[in-house]
Structure 1
Amino acid sequence: MLTRRDFIKTVAATAAVSTLTQPLSLVQAASKVIKPPHLKPGSVVGIVSPASATFVHEEFDIVQDAVRALGLVPQLAPHVLDQYGYLAGKDGDRANDINQLFADPKVAAILPIRGGWGCSRILPYLDYQVIQNNPKIIVGFSDITALLVAIHAKTGLVTFHGPNGLTSWRTQQTESFRRVLFTGEKVIFKNDKDADDNDRLMQVKYRIRTINPGKVRGKLIGGNLSVFSTLVGSPYLPDLKGAILFLEEVEENIYRIDRFLTHLKLAGVLKQIDGFIFGQCPGCTPGSDYGSLTLEQVLSDHIKPLNIPAWHGATIGHMENILTFPIGSQVEINANSGTITMLESAVSSEQNN
């Protein structure tokens, strides 16, 4: 499977393509939070491939089955089956699929099949005015971070760090998805025990480590660390003043985690935020690197001096189950207990036609 690290150097060049000034109305709208209408049984879900290609056709059937099992109606985007090397079609076509689904009044939500690599390439081709005028749910994780963060930055629309189509859709994941996107609940997120820990005297997996104690409220922003860091210096990074930043990663050497966080620090991103959460990082170990720092040391070096509530080990990221978090919505975090409390519903009570 292709990893984003092989292509990450192309992102800065791609972001530079978009230098046109946005309409004043769009700039003004981006400063206001827009909530998409909630899902209901029978809502139409547009299935897209905004990043890596899907080469096994059975996987399209699996995603559609998952959508139907949620009580929703799948609608494949026109270019969802395309392939262009490792990408799911040409950049303009992948972007047009997003634009068309937002413009389609029948569609209530947009669900990517997978991440991989490619979302940053299509950001200059999205019609943010259409997205602003037709708010709807868009959800995903990993490389989809670029879409979620950029759309919120340009339009003010609340987006959702949550499942891609080809994730597990086990009970916990499905319940989180329903509570946030169907019923619009103000959910409290906290690490659950792993099943293996039920027979132990102590918790071993999914422990939290407090970096700085305390509580704070703010707008929740974040996603995959390597993807998020490449948006710095582009028009697609939201205003982070007073925000709570959450980040996660997978299978990266510790020095690369250090590099990404150093980039955020040098760019002035970290000094803007009021709270910090680091999620799961499977495969992020020193390995055989002689004299490597640990992940805990790197996080302490960069985050502890900020003197803001912060912890790491949240069950967010590349793992079973993918919980659904709102990007751009107000939350309260407690770094002592490792909880994220939604202070408002992330969806509106309006319904799509």
Structure 2
Amino acid sequence: MIPTDADLNAARELRRLLHRTPELSGVEVNTAARIAAEMTCLGADRVETGIGGHGLLAFFEGAETGPLVVLRAELDALPIIERSGVAHASEVAGQGHLCGHDGHMAILFCVARVLARARPRRGSVALLFQPAEETGAGARAMLRDPRIGNLRPTRIFALHNLPGLPLGYAALAEGPIACASRGMRLTLQGRTAHASQPETGLSPRTALSRLLGALDTLNAGLPLEDPEFAMATVTHCRMGAPAFGVAPGEAEIWTTLRTLRDDAMARLCARAEEMAQQTAHSHGLALEVAYDDVFNATENHPDAVATLRAALDEANIPHGPAGQPWRPSEDFGAFAALGPSAMLFFGSGENHPALHDHAYDFPDMLIAPGAQLFLAAIERALSSPPGIRQRSKL
């Protein structure tokens, strides 16, 4: 099963259309509808929509019952102004596909075109298009839907493009490959006062200043590969109202906590909360702690990695462990609850603009090797002897 020039041209056209019309996490209405329409037009045996929000599944069934292989791509874009200068740049103000999810969808579309012509002999393939990856909410929301939660795939695969690696090089390794992270919001509550009489209030200014410095001490200074790697990045802080006549009575700090493993994240959160509680108490302030954008660590299963390695060799794609693990987070790891899963990273070019950069644009040259890899992995996963994990009948 190999994509034709027509497949690749259609995938490039779809990718650029998606790039021009990005939608943010949780509101991927038109993106999901477009993908669902494409899957239906290709003749997918079943298309399930509205999963975990705007997620969808497209099934391509073989003649014989057998294993299920799932491939995943993301639907959402970012709240970032694009300044790539490409002809197909975003037409939506302040939003852009600056992480490459448009390219990931195009790769699965290319795979779908091939499967539409040549179904697997046995087993089935489900193409999963996930909403809200950028917030960490999408995978868990999809898993709460029985149409996903009841599946038992023999393999689950995904890829992500990665600037900084040579174009077309595949980074693949077993074990932890993407960090756990979560956004911690600390709110310090005191009492406002007139700016001419600040002594009558309770300002969080000193506590805010001390906490900003204290949070830096959470950075462990260890290499990313170390199980105790820990990182804290202050991303936002605010104090009081923007008014000259009011001494502040409230402040807020946003910090992203990051670790290689989930158990280390639990310890990092406990340390950060204890530090914040002690600082607030010593200044007579009330403290509220909240978390957003929660990502678990993503770990690759050895069996799924072995399948991908063999597929990379078959497709003559250079590969190795370079670039693994990486600091960013991925909610793909949540799908490991369904079966053996693995994600690899395709190099976008050593000098390519970074992910989430204003100038980023997905390299169309990655569509062909990405589709070839997935098609080879499908053949290998479905040709294995029948096992415990069989296709679910929904």
TM over 0.5: no
**Greater relative contact order (Cα 8 A, min sep 6): structure 1 or 2?**
2
* Structure with greater Cα Rg: 2
Higher strand share: 2
